[in-house]
Amino acid sequence: MLKIKSIIAVILSLLVLVLPSCKSSQSEAELKIGVKDIQGVCNPFYAESEGDSEVISQMFMSIQRRDGDNKLINYGGGISYEFVGDSQIKYTVSLNEDMFFSDGKNITIDDVIFFYHFIADATYDGVYSDWYFNDIVGLKEYYFDDVNYQDKILNIEKKIESNYSSATIETEDYVKYLVETNLEGRFNGNLDSVSPSGVTWKEYIGNMGYSDDLASLGSNPKTDDVIEFVATIEAENNRFSYNPKDWYRELLYKDYIGGNYSDGTDIDTIKGIKKVNDYTCTVLFNSRNINAVAQLNALLVPKEYFSTEYVKGSADKIKKIDRCNVGSGPYVVTDFTETEVRMSANEYYNENECEFTTLRFIELSDEDNPINYVVSGKVDVVETLATADAVKKLDGKNVRYFIEDCDYYVSLFLNTRTVDTPHRKSFIGLSNVNSAVESKIGSYYTRPLRPISVRFEEYPSDLTESYYSESTYSLYNINSEINMTDVSAYYCGSEEDLEFSVLEEYKNNLSQKGITLNIVLTDESSLENAIISGKADMWIETVYDGDSCDKLEYYNSVGRLNKTGISSPEIDKMTADIRSAAGFYDKVSMVGKLMDLVMAEAVESPLYQLQTITVYNTETISDSSFTHGLNIDGYTHYIPLLKKN
């Protein structure tokens, strides 16, 4: 069978000379695409920047892709499932036959199985490095390289709680942590820089009563000595403002895994992944999970190309490959610089013929409006944030554009540790900040009425009113035992951001009710500690769509993203039920109920969901290209379908 396939591949490679293909049947045509942040990492396992991700989207097919309704549909293959026993579920991953990489070699299920095993390697630290969280039979044994990993992890967690929490950690260990992290990025040794308290570190040290001790370091102390000095002060006086636990957890896990991997690995396969034939494998999950199909939606990458030097435990061998020359998608990389990537059509891509035989991804300047690049003809396609000003620039121009909702929304979160339920309801009722959004964006946004992206089918689209309104303030505030008149809102960003303008309007809304809102600009680590310590009563944060409407991580009491501290047995059960839901309509019903439960707890208020605009230059691209709908994830799937003018 394999021999026959090889012969077919050779024959096909010869036929390329006489049969139509992207390269031979079309005259040379170039499409210029404007993107941000090209890093030149043409490696499907490690490309993270916006520009590099766009390149990867053209170089590698996936098993499935999302359509205009945000549903996964078959592309390079398909994924089906069947229930096994009371709780397990078996997924069948299949590939289309007669697909080839750009070097003419067959794409088989071995390439998919390799993809799964590589991203489950504990030494891998790329964009899929949390894949091992999936509940696949044997996955964690493979990741930790230890069949008894559960006992080891339990011991590590016990050690963390007893030795490294803010309450239990020894001062020496605390100082070590603060020094290694530069006080979680808050202090670089410059005493004239501003501390989180709003004054310089030198003033802060004086206010704490340590001026004489600082002077004893000399007139020109070494930076390392200053950092250790300040770290000691913080460890002794301000221990609950930092989070040493996660840092030591990572250190202990790294030591544990490193010990297992150091002398060679013992577990070479994931028990729940079985090859059926050259184009099919099965993956057995211990439990039902609505995210499973998306998690199994592998990129079709060539095992032979990447596994030349790689064995489990040596992910760095693949990480050093910053340019992959073999792909499965419509285009392959031929050249790249710091500001541009050039791709040519893949003659073995069997989905369609590419009328544009060359792609040029061109990095756009941060200072210029991306729309200007299309209007001036410097690029043919660009995707950017939709605003009233952006759309106005396109009036009378030779362009076509499409507008769709972004894959994220922005929310106001409230801290249950410091704000009681009546106040949370009141604060949400005052969170209409449409004026601030419209002043910068115009009408190109949506305000989700429940904390879920409007792009999901499960979003309750029949809603017309917010759960709480301004009248909620008077309704709930009188029931509170403590009248809060001074609260703090944190945000990771700058005063130039839309989020800051939103907070300014919110501050005005609260002031009209006699409430003072203190806006604090911070970084991620400081935000987390401010939430835990109770300094942050509320904060603004972006919520990305993810693979599904699953909200367990946000609202379940054990969720990894549950920063609000919400804890409700009813919500815990509902989030678990949604994650394991089998039928679509059951899931829709449960999501609606969950949204009401979450709003009743008043821990999140969605503020806005922005929109993107994709602009096409019709002097280069034929208007007949737009007879199809647009993909929910933007224009990337339609690049090989575009027709030249």
* Residue 633 pLDDT level (bands cut at 50, 70, 90): low
Residues 366 and 429 in one domain: no
- Asked if residue 624 lies in contact with residue 643, where contact means CB atoms within 8 angstroms, the answer is yes
Burial 281-310 (b: 16+ CB within 10 A, else e): bbbbbbebbbbbbbbbbbbbbbbebbbeeb
∠ CA 459-288-75, nearest 5°, is: 70
**Does the pLDDT of residue 102 top 50, yes or no?**
yes
Q: Mean of the pLDDT values across residues 150-159? A: 95
Residues 459 and 563 in one domain: yes
- SS3 (DSSP) at 482: coil
Query: Residue 424 belongs to what domain range?
Result: 408-611
**Does the pLDDT of residue 63 top 60, yes or no?**
yes
Burial 61-81 (b: 16+ CB within 10 A, else e): bbbbbbbeebebeebbbbbeb
Average pLDDT of the chain to the nearest whole number:
89
Q: For residue 20, what pLDDT is reported?
A: 38
Residues 536 and 635 in one domain: no
Q: For residue 565, what pLDDT is reported?
A: 92
Residues 639 and 568 in one domain: no
Residues 469 and 530 in one domain: yes
Residues 228 and 344 in one domain: no
Residues 471 and 340 in one domain: no
Q: For residue 276, what pLDDT is reported?
A: 98
* Residue 10 pLDDT level (bands cut at 50, 70, 90): very low
Q: Of 8, 128, 106, 76, whose CA–CA distance to 302 is shortest?
A: 106
pTM confidence score:
0.84
C-alpha to C-alpha distance for 89 and 76, rounded to whole angstroms: 22
* 267 part of a folded domain: no
* Residue 477 pLDDT level (bands cut at 50, 70, 90): low
Residues 447 and 536 in one domain: yes
* Residue 70 pLDDT level (bands cut at 50, 70, 90): confident
Residues 607 and 625 in one domain: no
**Does the pLDDT of residue 568 top 80, yes or no?**
yes
Residues 415 and 361 in one domain: no
Farthest CA pair distance, the chain: 85
Q: Mean of the pLDDT values across residues 117-144? A: 96
Residues 576 and 632 in one domain: no
Residue 263 gets the label, from left (phi > 0), alpha (psi -120 to 50) or beta, of alpha
Residues 458 and 586 in one domain: yes
Q: For residue 527, what pLDDT is reported?
A: 86
Q: For residue 260, what pLDDT is reported?
A: 95
Last residue within a domain, chosen from 242, 264, 282? 242
**Does the pLDDT of residue 476 top 70, yes or no?**
no
Number of domains in the chain: 3
pLDDT tens track for 510-544: 999 889 999 999 888 778 878 887 889 999 999 99
* Residue 482 pLDDT level (bands cut at 50, 70, 90): low
* Residue 550 pLDDT level (bands cut at 50, 70, 90): confident
Helices (H), 421-497: 421-429, 434-441, 471-477
pLDDT tens track for 280-302: 999 999 998 888 999 999 999 99
